[in-house]
Amino acid sequence: MKRVLNIVLALGFLFLLSCEESENAPLSSDNVSPGMITDVEYSAVPGGVFISYKKPGDKDLMSVKAVYTNPKGKQMVEVSSVYSSTIEVLGFADTLTQTIALYTVDRSLNESEPYMLEAKPGIAPINSTKLTLKMEEDFGGIKISGINESNANLAFLVFGEDSVNNFTNVETYYTSQDSVTFSVRGFKPKLTKFGVVVRDQYDNYSDTVFANLTPWLEEQITPETFKLLVLNNDEDFGHNGRPF
């Protein structure tokens, strides 16, 4: 019995040793930085830049990363696999020149010296879409339409005057469709100030588009006022001899 107990204790000790946390570390380790990327080119895309490059010949190359600052002042990182020769950087709110640092990274997590790229992004979807926005009267509110040419994930924040003339967010509409059309209801038929702001997935906001519109009168019809209309040429095939 004592022998069995000793075996059990020994196995338990070995099990505890095997469960100890091990530190995550690179599969290979050296202190040699990889070479830099070369032949860097870029093209402007909506709200960002598309970058192409030539990779160095390091056999242990793992990835290429782009480091930049977004419009909120936060440092951002995009990473591209060793199997790719391109990287896309998105999330800019304007077309001002941006500085992007491009690094190569090897399997020992060594980084190259940065390749500093000065690039001008394309017009952001929030701004190109804002230019196409149209507001017009609708029953009980307004109809809003526009063109989201790049199929970006956008939110349309609609503002309107409430019963005490406070300008508040009355509805938010989300879409990535290229053709945008939706209505906002719940307003009385009186001259009302409306506004629309476009927001993207990177929390960038467009300027507000304003319009003063008078919604059309909209009234609910109660079921008690419904009447069955039977025409002279209707067939008697329905309930109680009446057509459906």
User: What pLDDT, in 10s, does the model give residues 2-29?
Assistant: 554 455 455 555 555 555 555 555 556 7
Residue 185's closest CA among 220, 224, 142, 221? 142
How many angstroms separate the CA atoms of 40 and 42, rounded? 7
Given this model, what pLDDT does residue 217 score?
Answer: 92
How many angstroms separate the CA atoms of 168 and 181, rounded? 21
Backbone angles phi, psi at 47, to 5 degrees: 75, 15
How many angstroms separate the CA atoms of 156 and 180, rounded? 10
Given this model, what pLDDT does residue 234 score?
Answer: 75
Name every residue whose Cβ is closer than 8 Å to that of residue 26 and which is 6 or more positions away in sequence.
Answer: 107, 108, 109
How many angstroms separate the CA atoms of 210 and 206, rounded? 12
The residue behind tokens 């530190």 is 23
Tens digit of pLDDT per residue, the chain (244 long)? Answer: 555 445 545 555 555 555 555 555 555 678 899 999 999 999 999 999 999 999 999 999 999 999 999 999 999 999 999 999 999 999 999 999 999 999 999 999 999 999 999 999 999 999 999 999 999 999 999 999 999 999 999 999 999 998 788 899 999 999 999 999 999 999 999 999 999 999 999 999 999 999 999 999 988 888 888 887 788 887 765 555 555 5
The predicted-structure confidence for 89-109, as pLDDT tens digits, reads as follows 999 999 999 999 999 999 999
Given this model, what pLDDT does residue 5 score?
Answer: 46
Residue 166's closest CA among 195, 144, 143? 195
Cβ(13)–Cβ(95) under 8 Å?
no
Given this model, what pLDDT does residue 8 score?
Answer: 44
Q: pTM of the prediction?
A: 0.78
Question: Strand 179-185 vs strand 38-45: parallel, antiparallel, or unpaired?
Answer: unpaired
In a 13 Å sphere around the CA of 154, the CA atoms on its Cβ side amount to: 30
